[in-house]
Amino acid sequence: MKISIQNLQLKYGSFTAIENLNLDIEDGEALVLLGQSGCGKTSTMRCIAGLEEPTSGRIIIDDIVVFDSEKGINLPPNKRNVGMVFQSYAVWPHMTVAQNVAYSLKRKKLATKEIDERVTEALTLVGLDQFAERGASLLSGGQMQRVALARSLVMRPSVLMLDEPLSNLDARLRDRLRVELREIQLKLGLTCVYVTHDQHEAFALADRIALLQGGRIVQMGAPRHMYEAPASASIAHFLGVSNIMECTEITAADGQTAARIAASDLTIHATQPPAQAALSPKVCIRAEDLQVTAAPTGSVNSWPGTVRVAGFQGNDVRYAVELEAGPELDVLGGLKRGEQHNVGDRVWVTVNAREVQILPAEVFA
């Protein structure tokens, strides 16, 4: 089922939680709303589900206008066929797993045989068919989360919306359920809106990510695109780019762009044309794109410095290197490269000019 959101605005009193949001979600698409706390993810979802009345705009689900402020249309949640799974899954502890999942179907007064079939189907889908008769309070966190999911799936919603459904779980379980969720979504061809503030979760689950900041979509695209080409330094920061430096001057020479870093003697070269970096530009470099060596590499971007911190992380070592030209850089050194450096060592930090991004500070100035 397609969802179309047009010029959506939501105000709580004088505070604007969602501002002029436009979003088209394709049939069978997994769209992830990603953004930091308070950016408007849950509000957007509640508007789609009909749990919140937007101030203005239009929402269309499967060619049916479910909300239109101008025409005074506002369908109640139960007329929208939208399934929701929340962060705090309210699994009823005094019921069995099967009773939990059957609850809403019973309220709809479906025939017992159909209820049984659908409950079994939903529990099989989430891998809990063996647990149907177990008391819900005797489940692990991950299993309870799956009961909550089965309870939504059993209603056969045309759209499934999940609001941080994995955030109560430990990291390993989260990783696994993330993959299982994606499998179920693809298998059922479900149109899915998924809310998270976790970029890894977003990358793993999304066909497309809508990145929200302050109630507005600031970037939209496939996970890979978002990772490789963040639209602003603040998006890069949110996505985990750790080296972000203000520039004072940007010049073009020999097909390269040279950026002078504020409050330092450092100049960083990029292959990107200078025109792309309009307002208060910042240089952004991922820790994994930097390399630490004992000797200079001959690259235009190779600077001497001293290792301040070397944190062993298993696969790699995280270095903080204070450059002689001023700034301290966060570097992820792969151990496979064979070199390891210790605190106090004099080293060179190198980055390929292609990996240097010069970005505006914000999408909306």
Ligand X SMILES: Nc1ncnc2c1ncn2[C@@H]1O[C@H](COP(=O)(O)OP(=O)(O)OP(=O)(O)O)[C@@H](O)[C@H]1O
Question: Using CB under 6 A as the criterion, which residues of the chain lie in contact with ligand X when the complex forms?
Answer: 12, 15, 17, 35, 37-43, 197
Instruction: Give CA torsion, residues 62, 10, 31, 103, to 10 deg.
Output: -70
> Whole-number minimum distance, CB 42 to ligand X, in Å?
3
Complex with Mg ion: residue 42 or 234, whichever CB lies closer: 42
Complex with ligand X: residue 85 or 122, whichever CB lies closer: 85
Residue 315, binding choice from ligand X, Mg ion, none, Cβ under 5 to 8 Å by partner class? none
Complex with ligand X: residue 37 or 78, whichever CB lies closer: 37
Burial degree of 204 (CB within 10 A; 0-12, 13-18, 19+): middle
Spatial contact of 288 and 347, defined as CB atoms under 8 Å apart:
no
Q: Can you tell me whether residue 185 is helix, strand or coil?
A: helix
Terminal Cα-to-Cα distance of the chain (whole angstroms): 35
Tokens for 93?
């502890």
Residue 208, binding choice from ligand X, Mg ion, none, Cβ under 5 to 8 Å by partner class? none
Complex with Mg ion: residue 46 or 58, whichever CB lies closer: 46
> Whole-number minimum distance, CB 203 to ligand X, in Å?
17
Complex with ligand X: residue 25 or 287, whichever CB lies closer: 25
> Whole-number minimum distance, CB 18 to ligand X, in Å?
8
Residue 17, binding choice from ligand X, Mg ion, none, Cβ under 5 to 8 Å by partner class? ligand X
Spatial contact of 191 and 1, defined as CB atoms under 8 Å apart:
yes
**Alpha-helix residue ranges (DSSP H) falling in 126-170:** 141-153
Residue 40, binding choice from ligand X, Mg ion, none, Cβ under 5 to 8 Å by partner class? ligand X
Sheet holding 328-334, edge to edge: 290-293, 346-351, 302-312, 316-323, 328-334
Give the DSSP H/E element, type plus range, for residue 304: strand 302-312
Residue recorded with tokens 């497309």: 208
Closest CA to 89 of 81, 77, 97: 97
Query: Can you tell me the distance from the alpha carbon of 236 to that of 282, in angstroms, rounded to the nearest whole number?
Result: 10
Residue 37, binding choice from ligand X, Mg ion, none, Cβ under 5 to 8 Å by partner class? ligand X
Query: Can you tell me the distance from the alpha carbon of 259 to that of 283, in angstroms, rounded to the nearest whole number?
Result: 8
Complex with Mg ion: residue 42 or 185, whichever CB lies closer: 42
Complex with ligand X: residue 147 or 210, whichever CB lies closer: 210
> Whole-number minimum distance, CB 45 to ligand X, in Å?
8
Q: Which residues pair with 34 in a beta bridge?
A: 196, 211
> Whole-number minimum distance, CB 165 to ligand X, in Å?
12
> Whole-number minimum distance, CB 212 to ligand X, in Å?
7
Residue 197, binding choice from ligand X, Mg ion, none, Cβ under 5 to 8 Å by partner class? ligand X
> Whole-number minimum distance, CB 313 to Mg ion, in Å?
30
Residue 39, binding choice from ligand X, Mg ion, none, Cβ under 5 to 8 Å by partner class? ligand X
Query: Can you tell me the distance from the alpha carbon of 262 to that of 197, in angstroms, rounded to the nearest whole number?
Result: 31
Spatial contact of 330 and 243, defined as CB atoms under 8 Å apart:
yes
Complex with ligand X: residue 119 or 210, whichever CB lies closer: 210
Chain residues in the site for Mg ion (CB under 5 A): 42
Residue 157, binding choice from ligand X, Mg ion, none, Cβ under 5 to 8 Å by partner class? none
> Whole-number minimum distance, CB 141 to ligand X, in Å?
19
Q: Are strands 3-12 and 15-25 parallel, antiparallel or unpaired?
A: antiparallel
Q: Helices 141-153 and 112-125 meet at what angle, rounded to 10?
A: 130
Complex with ligand X: residue 29 or 164, whichever CB lies closer: 164
> Whole-number minimum distance, CB 237 to ligand X, in Å?
17
